[in-house]
């Protein structure tokens, strides 16, 4: 009798588990929105897929309230915005009930409740990243003060002091970021922070190291796959490999090929007229060009501009006398996409044999590398 009851109980438990399991698979998300003061209108739910925005749903606002329901296969970045507004609130959407409250004039600052994945991800910026900013702020101010906003050259002692401060800041940032990723290796937040902070701003070695920490499930998620693609792309532009070939037109419409520079050392310099750090670095590149051009060094500027007049004005104003090319597609510049450029300035020093010798040589590093190369010749 006891055995029969036990079997019946186990059977019932198994049935309940199966039902619960099935019901969980069918569960989706619900977003309950409230925008006080916005009596009516249309609100959009959009998928943020890289640099693309795809409208997935839209609903009417009734007396300031709206609701979205649906299901996502895995947590991804979405945004909610009002019709006619350029920006919306970007967040990580997963299958759960989410509360959304915003002011009609600043929907991008909406407050969320119940968005678990987004909250975990956001905790990095509220804690670790804020600590980094608190240390970085005074260092940037000191640097601007000593250099008079880039107009004055630092003394040897000042440069040594600033180098140490920058190095210590980088160590702090790396330590806090790595600890966060490691402690969230089983959660999407680990991959998101890695994508945000290291894929663009870190070294290729760091990206590989941190990616290896993530759980297999997170590595094979949408964002994990994106990071892996970045790692594979970076391997194609690593030091020692042949530089990917490309061709684009110069300011006069003439086609220029990277292969035209075979036999020389050429700095492939990705920049843009609207990029402050690029313009600040330009005098350093000018100095390198003037010092080593007659010895076999050249520069090929690749602009991420989309307006030719601004591109040409920047070339003239900064005295950039080398060859410049662009397809005027902005961040979609085909050479930049080929090289996986995520920020500017970015540069690659290519040797006479067409292989990449060094990457991202800036300020004193560029002068030092060229001195090392041409002192041997």
CATH number (domain holding residue 86): 2.60.40.180
Q: For position 249, what pLDDT does the model report?
A: 97
322 and 367 assigned to the same domain? yes
Between 316 and 340, the higher pLDDT residue = 316
Identify the pLDDT of residue 376.
75
For residues 214 and 203, what is the distance between their CA atoms, to the nearest angstrom?
A: 17
Does 81 have pLDDT greater than 80?
yes
Whether 205 maps to a domain, the answer reads yes
Q: Are residues 206 and 251 in the same domain?
A: no
Single out the residue in 235, 263, 290 at which a domain terminates.
235
Q: Which residues contact 53 (CB under 8 A, 6 or more apart)?
A: 46, 47, 79
Confidence label for 174 from pLDDT (cuts 50, 70 and 90) = very high
Other beta carbons within 10 Å of 188: 25
Domain CATH for 305 = 3.40.30.10
* Paired tokens of 150: 């880039």
pLDDT computed for residue 234 by the predictor: 82
The answer to whether residues 365 and 319 belong to one domain is: yes
Q: Is residue 3 part of a domain?
A: no
The pLDDT-based confidence of 17 (bands split at 50, 70, 90) is: very low
Q: What is the pLDDT of residue 377?
A: 61
- Segment 342-371 shows an average pLDDT of 93
Per-residue pLDDT band at 51 (split at 50, 70, 90):
confident
Which of 200, 235, 270 is the C-terminal boundary of a domain?
Answer: 235
Q: Locate 208 and state its tokens.
A: 């590989």
Q: Cβ neighbours of residue 261 under 8 Å, at least 6 residues apart?
A: 298, 300, 350
Q: What is the mean pLDDT of residues 346-350?
A: 96
Answer yes or no: is pLDDT of 179 > 80: yes
- Residue 214 shares a structural domain with residue 281: no
Q: For residues 23 and 241, which has the higher predicted lDDT (pLDDT)?
A: 241
DSSP summary character for residue 214: S
Assess whether 259 and 337 both reside in one domain: yes
Residue 255 lies in a domain: yes
**Could you read off the pLDDT of 222-244 as tens digits, one per residue?**
999 999 988 888 888 889 999 99
24 inside domain: no
Work out the average pLDDT over 242-265: 96
Tell me, yes or no, whether 366 and 256 share the same domain.
Answer: yes
Beta-carbon-side half-sphere exposure of residue 353 (alpha carbons within 13 Å): 7
If asked whether residues 370 and 251 sit together in one domain, one would say yes
Domain count, the chain: 3
**pLDDT score, position 90:** 95
Tokens of 14: 């198994």
129 and 187 share one domain: yes
Q: Is residue 229 part of a domain?
A: yes
Q: Is residue 80 part of a domain?
A: yes
Judged by average pLDDT, the poorest of 95-99, 153-157, 321-325 is 153-157
Q: Which of 87, 114, 141 is the last residue of a domain?
A: 114
User: Within 10 A of 109 (CB to CB), how many other CB atoms are there?
Assistant: 10
- Residue 230 and residue 156 share a domain: yes
Q: What percent of the chain has pLDDT over 70?
A: 93
Confidence class of residue 178 from pLDDT cuts 50, 70 and 90? very high
Q: Do both 279 and 368 map to the same domain?
A: yes
For residues 75 and 97, state if they share a domain.
yes
Mean pLDDT of the chain: 89
The pLDDT of residue 335 is above 90:
yes
- Is residue 86 assigned to a domain? yes
Give the confidence band of 297 by pLDDT, cuts at 50, 70, 90: very high
Task: Look up the domain containing 345 and give its range.
Answer: 247-374
Residue 242 lies in a domain: no
Evaluate if residue 4 carries a pLDDT over 60: no
9 has pLDDT over 50: no
Whether 200 and 291 share a structural domain:
no
Average pLDDT over residues 94-103: 96
In the numeric block, which tokens belong to residue 332? 């979609």
Q: Which residues contact 262 (CB under 8 A, 6 or more apart)?
A: 352, 353, 354
- End-to-end Cα, the chain, rounded Å: 95
């Amino acid at each position: 009798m006891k055995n029969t009851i036990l079997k019946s109980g186990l059977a019932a438990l198994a049935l309940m588990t199966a039902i619960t399991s099935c019901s969980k698979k069918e569960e989706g998300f619900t977003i309950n929105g409230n925008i006080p003061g916005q009596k009516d209108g249309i609100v959009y739910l959009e998928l943020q897929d890289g640099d693309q925005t795809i409208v997935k749903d839209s609903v009417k606002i009734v007396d300031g309230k709206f609701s979205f329901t649906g299901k996502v296969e895995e947590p991804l970045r979405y945004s909610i915005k009002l019709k006619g507004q350029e920006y919306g609130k970007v967040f990580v959407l997963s299958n759960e009930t989410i509360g959304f409250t915003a002011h009609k004039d600043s929907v991008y600052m909406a407050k969320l409740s119940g968005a678990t994945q987004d909250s975990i991800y956001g905790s990095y910026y509220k804690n670790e990243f804020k600590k980094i900013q608190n240390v970085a702020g005074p260092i940037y101010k000191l640097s601007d003060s000593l250099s008079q906003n880039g107009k004055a050259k630092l003394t040897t002692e000042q440069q040594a002091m600033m180098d140490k401060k920058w190095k210590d800041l980088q160590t702090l940032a790396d330590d806090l970021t790595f600890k966060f990723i490691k402690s969230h290796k089983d959660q999407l937040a680990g991959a998101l922070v890695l994508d945000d902070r290291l894929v663009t701003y870190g070294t290729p070695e760091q990206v590989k190291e941190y990616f290896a920490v993530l759980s297999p499930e997170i590595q094979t998620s949408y964002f994990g796959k994106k990071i892996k693609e970045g790692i594979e792309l970076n391997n194609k532009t690593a030091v020692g490999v042949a530089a990917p070939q490309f061709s684009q037109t110069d300011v006069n419409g003439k086609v220029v090929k990277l292969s035209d520079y075979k036999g020389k050392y050429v700095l492939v310099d990705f920049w843009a007229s609207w990029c402050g750090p690029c313009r600040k670095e330009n005098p350093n590149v000018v100095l390198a060009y003037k010092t080593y051009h007659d010895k076999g060094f050249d520069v090929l500027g690749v602009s991420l501009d989309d307006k030719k007049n601004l591109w040409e004005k920047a070339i003239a104003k900064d005295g950039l006398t080398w060859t410049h090319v662009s397809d005027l597609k902005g961040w979609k510049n085909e050479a930049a996409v080929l090289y996986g450029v995520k920020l500017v300035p970015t540069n690659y020093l290519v040797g006479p044999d067409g292989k990449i010798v060094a990457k991202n040589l800036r300020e004193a590093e560029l002068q030092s590398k060229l001195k090392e190369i041409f002192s041997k010749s």
